[in-house]
Amino acid sequence: MTEKQEHTLNGLSLLILKGDITEQSCDVLVNAANNHLWMGSGVAGALKKAGGIEIEREAMAKGPIEVGTAAATSAGQLDARWIVHTAVMGQDLETTPEIIYRAARAALELADELGAAVVALPALGTGVGGVALEDCARSIREALDDENPFHNLKEVRLVLFGPRAYRVFSEVFADLG
């Protein structure tokens, strides 16, 4: 059984889940990408392995993009309509909480523009990028709590791989009840 918490934030249904993002059935899966959009390890590697190499080919044809921005591709064999690749780092493979905020916001805005109602988002920049889980969770919370309303988004799933990530995100969002 998947561990799960349910909250409401800024008019959105917010789920915090411990699990594998590649197993989510939703409109958009968010990939923590580099700005050239090649899919190496971590979330990107898992999405490519589960969804097919065509996702990476399509993504790389759209790159490079600016760090903190996002691009959409098809989802290959995954149970989603799109993958939104959000650039949390450049070729130096380094990131910051501010970049994670911008990348998360860009991913959510692009998903909303695409008409997505349900989005699954991982812990951005905490693998190769090296950002602390706490900083990532706070940056994503800030992106979700921004004043600009979404028109199509109804549900955001924060899908965390492993018990520590799930615990940290649960703590950062605990005051929502």
Segment 43-53 mean pLDDT: 96
Give the phi and the psi of residue 123 in degrees, each rounded to 5.
-75, 100
DSSP string of 46-85, one letter each residue: HHHHHH-HHHHHHHHHH----TT-EEEEE-TTSSSSEEEE
- Two tokens, residue 70: 């996002």
- Which bin fits 33, alpha (ψ -120 to 50), beta or left (φ > 0)? beta
Q: Does the pLDDT of residue 26 top 70, yes or no?
A: yes
Cβ contact 95:87 at 8 Å: no
- Inter-helix orientation angle 42-51/53-62, to 10°: 120
Q: Does the pLDDT of residue 141 top 90, yes or no?
A: yes
CA 106: distance to chain centroid?
Answer: 10
Within 10 A of 124 (CB to CB), how many other CB atoms are there?
29
Domains identified in the chain and CATH numbers = 4-176 (3.40.220.10)
pLDDT single digits (tens) 72-131: 999 999 999 999 999 999 988 889 999 999 999 999 999 999 999 999 999 999 988 899
Segment 4-25 mean pLDDT: 94
Q: Does the pLDDT of residue 176 top 70, yes or no?
A: yes
The DSSP secondary-structure symbol of 149 reads: P
Considering the entire predicted model, what is its pTM? 0.95
pLDDT (0 to 100) of residue 14: 95
Q: Does the pLDDT of residue 51 top 50, yes or no?
A: yes
In the numeric block, the tokens 């899919």 are attached to 39
Run of H or E including 148 = none
